[in-house]
């Protein structure tokens, strides 16, 4: 989009002077406008902004299977026979 320079500033190697019309991306222009460096351009010189795109949500995450637990080992009782068998 086109913007009019309000206060002088450097953009790369070029110095932008008040009254100049510069073309900037919307995000960069928003930062410069917040600092008071640029302003809007009359409607007849401005370029229309492209329509905003719809935001697509992230796909849902796949559910993971629970971890397998190791099989339980029978507790050996020395009074019964040492190995748990009778």
Q: How many CB atoms lie within 10 A of CB 41?
A: 16
User: pLDDT tens, 14-64?
Assistant: 888 888 888 888 888 888 888 888 887 665 555 555 567 777 777 888 888
**What is the side-by-side strand order in the sheet with 21-23?**
21-23, 2-5, 38-40
DSSP 82: S
Helix (H, G, I), strand (E, B) or coil at 2: strand
pLDDT at 82: 53
More confident residue, 5 or 52: 5
What is the C-alpha separation between 65 and 48, in angstroms, rounded? Answer: 51
Helix (H, G, I), strand (E, B) or coil at 29: helix
């Amino acid at each position: 989009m086109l913007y009019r320079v309000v206060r002088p500033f450097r953009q790369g190697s070029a110095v932008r002077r008040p009254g100049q019309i510069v073309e900037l991306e919307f995000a960069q222009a928003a930062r410069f406008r917040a600092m008071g460096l640029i302003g809007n351009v009359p409607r007849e010189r401005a370029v229309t902004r492209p329509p905003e795109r719809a935001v697509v949500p992230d796909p849902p995450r796949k559910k993971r299977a629970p971890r397998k637990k190791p099989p339980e080992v029978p507790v050996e009782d020395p009074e019964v026979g040492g190995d748990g068998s009778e």
